[in-house]
Amino acid sequence: MVRPDPRQGQRTAKRQIFRPWDRGGTAREYNKFLGLKSWTRRTPEQQSPYFAELVNAYTAAKTGQIQPVSMRALLYKLSGIILPTLGEEIQAMKVNAACLDRYVIKRLKTGVKRTTVHRELSDIRAILNWSVKRGYLSRNPAAGFEMPERDDEVIFPPSIEELNAIMANAQPHLVRALSLSYYTGLRPGGELYRVTWNDLDCNSASLLIISAKKRGKPSRRIPVHPGFLGILKHWYHDDIDSELPDSMAIVNFNGQPVKSIKNSFNSAKAAAGITRRLRPYDLRHAFASSILAAGGDLKSTSELLGHTRTGTTLRIYQHTNPIMHRAAVGHLPLLTIPKK
């Protein structure tokens, strides 16, 4: 009598359990037996990476190319606003015009300004364009999307009366920051807080400025106003008496570098009774506008600001006023008008 091979029985049992098509079943039945979803062709939208993945790749690639302060602001905007509004699990190819239309509606319902939404959409578009260049996406799904109109508020530079009122209520470090901004037009943050006593040349009465990373010249030298040079020397001797090194930032708080003047500026502005919108950055506007209004050379003003194009200076920083309007009209040649 031939005994059956037990291994043969095991193989038979396994086939009976895991291969139902041996009994005439189909692959679809087998997928159902295993609990698998039926296969469907994936569209380009389904094949694309998640937008959050592109955000991570983009910010990683831009690290070192963007100022740390700007990078922190971008990360906050992306993680705290843009991704939650778009949806954490949205795939990049689904961030199309219809999706961005819904984004605009959601954001405007929260009460933010169109200009704010415009900036957020610019970041989204920049990430999508970058992803196409890097080969992460075959195309930009939001190409052709019409950006919403901006509602920029025109903020005129502070008058000398407003500045004097703020200075009268400012802490010492804020006085230094505002004075430097007004007399040099430095950018708050990347330039203003990094200027040290080593950058001051009293012989040539000038400041060496390491420019912020704005695609312009890496550095520039700004002449110091004659009336401001004596103040700088006074501050320098104060810091020397406090045994601070020449490498210390000119704008310091009790011997420590300053990273922001926003809170102290707002407090001083409120104490001065100024209620209109005004920012520390507006002192840079005051610097440029005052020079141009007094007949200063456009190219020189542009170079002092660290701009590569004079058009930027005119477009952003030349705030006109009634005096400038009257002077402009006064340049018209006189007509001989018959008295009839």
Query: Domain boundaries in the chain?
Result: 46-134, 160-319
What was the pLDDT predicted at 17? 44
- Could you tell me the maximum CA-CA distance found in the chain, to the nearest angstrom? 141
Cut 0.85: pTM above it: no
pLDDT digits (tens, 9 = 90+) for 187-227: 887 788 999 999 999 998 888 888 766 555 678 888 888 88
What was the pLDDT predicted at 10? 45
pLDDT digits (tens, 9 = 90+) for 219-237: 888 888 888 899 999 999 9
| Closest C-alpha to 281, from 161, 173, 158 | 158
Helix%, strand%, coil% for the chain, nearest 5:
55, 5, 40
Fold of 160-319: hpI Integrase; Chain A (1.10.443)
How far apart CA 125 and CA 113 sit, in angstroms, is: 19
What was the pLDDT predicted at 302? 78
How many beta carbons lie within 10 A of that of residue 175, not counting itself? Answer: 19
How far apart CA 142 and CA 48 sit, in angstroms, is: 14
How far apart CA 120 and CA 104 sit, in angstroms, is: 10
First to last CA, the chain: 141
Please check the confidence at residue 319 and state whether its pLDDT lies above 70: no
pLDDT digits (tens, 9 = 90+) for 275-309: 988 888 888 888 888 877 777 777 777 777 776 66
Mean pLDDT of 105-121: 89
Per-residue confidence at 78, pLDDT binned at 50, 70, 90? very high
Higher per-residue pLDDT: 240 or 311: 240
Contact (CB, 8 A) for 233 and 240 = no
Contact (CB, 8 A) for 43 and 116 = no
**Residue 31: both structure tokens together:** 């997928």
**Residue 93: both structure tokens together:** 């190819």
| Closest C-alpha to 218, from 196, 190, 193, 198 | 190
Higher per-residue pLDDT: 298 or 2: 298
Q: Which of 6-15, 65-74, 119-128, 326-335 has the lowest mean pLDDT?
A: 6-15
